[in-house]
Amino acid sequence: MDLNEALYTTRAMRRVKPDPIPEEAVKAMLDAAVRAPSGGNNQNWRFVTVTDPALKAALGDLYRDAWKILQNTVYKKAYERAEAVGDTQTMRIRSSSEWLAENFEVVPLWVFFFSRNDPTGASIFPGVWNMMLSARGLGIGTCLTTIAGFFKSDEVFEVLGVPTDKGWVNNAAISAGYPLGRWGTAKRRPANEVVFSERWGNRPDWTVDEPLWLEPENYGRS
Amino acid sequence: MDLNEALYTTRAMRRVKPDPIPEEAVKAMLDAAVRAPSGGNNQNWRFVTVTDPALKAALGDLYRDAWKILQNTVYKKAYERAEAVGDTQTMRIRSSSEWLAENFEVVPLWVFFFSRNDPTGASIFPGVWNMMLSARGLGIGTCLTTIAGFFKSDEVFEVLGVPTDKGWVNNAAISAGYPLGRWGTAKRRPANEVVFSERWGNRPDWTVDEPLWLEPENYGRS
């Protein structure tokens, strides 16, 4: 796959089929993950792949608890406002994230990422994202989630048997499966609206009116 | 460029030429950055591009101060040990990171990434890494640095005129320029040594003895 196609069309793909992911694909995704840089090349990371139904059921309950906390706190006002003003894009995100919570066990593969000595996330997330881009190249949809590790960390450690005295942190859990939906370029705020030239507040001379990488049949979907 | 070539060969490229980066390339790199997902699709990010010599000189002084702090604290023991045991890989990283500090102003483009409401880094670093992968596709070398924002945050905000009362955090500063060295696959610990199957401590059934993506003329460099 072309690099730009992957960069432009790797978006949250939450709704997936239950079909298992072949071992060769799992290896390729994780081999891509370890290619990413980390501070001082420390590679202070571990990745736990989860496919076992009993483990998925236990983690799914934690994920759903975390999801409910998120809905009732961080996202509460945003979703109320979206519903009030008819913001369909936000409501679609809510709906697909609800699907992922309700169907946690349907997702054939979850990969839990752990790191240590990485207070900013700069060392773990390039590897996480490499895995997700590699998956895209293999036609596998992924979604980056952080809520179980954020709201239910102790319980996640217990279920997966992670030592609690070695400094490990659960940074993310990535869902992976063959998508039910179609690939496409996600709608984003144009780059020129979030870039400043030289100093904060100075708009650049250029604009980006549509994604610079275009595949005609994909463009326009969101 | 092929996706896997980018995933496997985008490594820290600190030593670069002073040649400026064309505006079209800057736009392409930043347009790729905004394609990455962020929590709730919030896109709570701003990117400041810096090419101005006076700004680079001010930021370079901060970067060198931060680099010295890092050498005398976090990395002190690791470098002493590397020197004692003749660990040339670690000493090469030290040497090239020293080059970057000393030649901060030679680097034609720095991009400072800011985000807010992103305590884990999960929302900003996929975008950072997208920019670095897009740069790789354009033959531009980058390096992800966090030290100025980590050790000299207040001063970075002052130099770039970033408001201090809006919740922004400086997550990273990315150097970008045409490389002096050659591209290649970085040496990493094999994926099977950092992956656990189902539960912490269970090694997977598979091994990865060499990078799964190979370009013969690149393989083996580190």
**Please, how many CA atoms are within 13 Å of residue B163, restricted to the half-sphere of its CB?**
7
- Taking the domains of chain B in order of start, what are their residue ranges? 3-193
B11:A37 CB<8 A: yes
A73 closest CA partner among A1, A147, A141, A13? A147
Q: Yes or no: is domain A3-183 CATH 3.40.109.10?
A: yes
Q: Which of A27-36, A87-96, A193-202, A207-216 bottoms out in mean pLDDT, i.e. has the lowest?
A: A207-216
Q: What is the ipTM of this complex?
A: 0.94
Decide if pLDDT at A151 tops 90: yes
Chain A residue closest in CA terms to B79? A40
The residues, any chain, with a CB within 8 Å of residue A174's CB and separated by 6 or more, are A110, A111, A113, A128, A131, A132, A142, A143, A144, A145
Interface residue A47 vs chain B (CB under 8 A) = yes
Name every chain B residue with its beta carbon within 8 A of the beta carbon of A195.
30, 46-49
Interface residue B67 vs chain A (CB under 8 A) = no
Distance CA B82, CA B90 (A): 6
Percent of chain A with pLDDT over 90: 88
B119 closest CA partner among A185, A46, A82, A150? A150
Read out DSSP for B121-190?
STTTHHHHHHHHHHHHHTT-EEEEE-HHHHHSHHHHHHHHT--SSS--EEEEEEEEE-BSS---PPP---
| E strands in A91-194 | 109-115, 141-145, 169-177
195-214 of B, contacting A, C-beta below 8 A: 195-201, 204-206, 208, 211-213
Distance from CA of A69 to the nearest CA of B (A): 15
Specify the pLDDT at position B89. 87
Distance CA B40, CA B123 (A): 9
Chain A residue closest in CA terms to B96? A40
Chain B residue closest in CA terms to A196? B48
Distance from CA of A32 to the nearest CA of B (A): 6
pLDDT in tens, A106-147: 999 999 999 999 999 999 999 999 999 999 999 999 999 999
Instruction: Let me know how long chain B is.
Output: 222
b/e map A41-66, b = 16+ CB within 10 Å? bebbbbbbbbeeeebbebbbebbbbb
Distance CA A72, CA B8 (A): 41
Q: Which of A49, A122, A186 sits opposite B195 (nearest CB)?
A: A49
Specify the pLDDT at position A40. 87
Distance from CA of B28 to the nearest CA of A (A): 7
A161:B199 CB<8 A: yes
Interface residue A138 vs chain B (CB under 8 A) = no
Distance CA A68, CA A76 (A): 10
B40:A93 CB<8 A: yes
Characterise A220 by phi-psi region: left (phi > 0), alpha (psi -120 to 50), beta (else).
left
Q: How many residue pairs bridge chain A and chain B with CB atoms within 8 Å of each other?
A: 255
Q: Which residue has the higher pLDDT, B222 or A81?
A: A81
Distance from CA of B37 to the nearest CA of A (A): 6
Interface residue A4 vs chain B (CB under 8 A) = yes
A204:B40 CB<8 A: no
Specify the pLDDT at position A187. 87
Specify the pLDDT at position B221. 42
The stretches in chain B having pLDDT less than 50 are 216, 218-222
Pick the CATH number of B3-193 from 3.30.2310.20, 3.40.50.300, 3.40.50.970, 3.40.109.10: 3.40.109.10
Interface residue A78 vs chain B (CB under 8 A) = yes
Q: Which of A40, A197, A200 sits opposite B93 (nearest CB)?
A: A40
Decide if pLDDT at A220 tops 60: no
Specify the pLDDT at position A218. 46
pLDDT in tens, A58-76: 999 999 999 999 999 988 9
Place of tokens 């990273």: B172
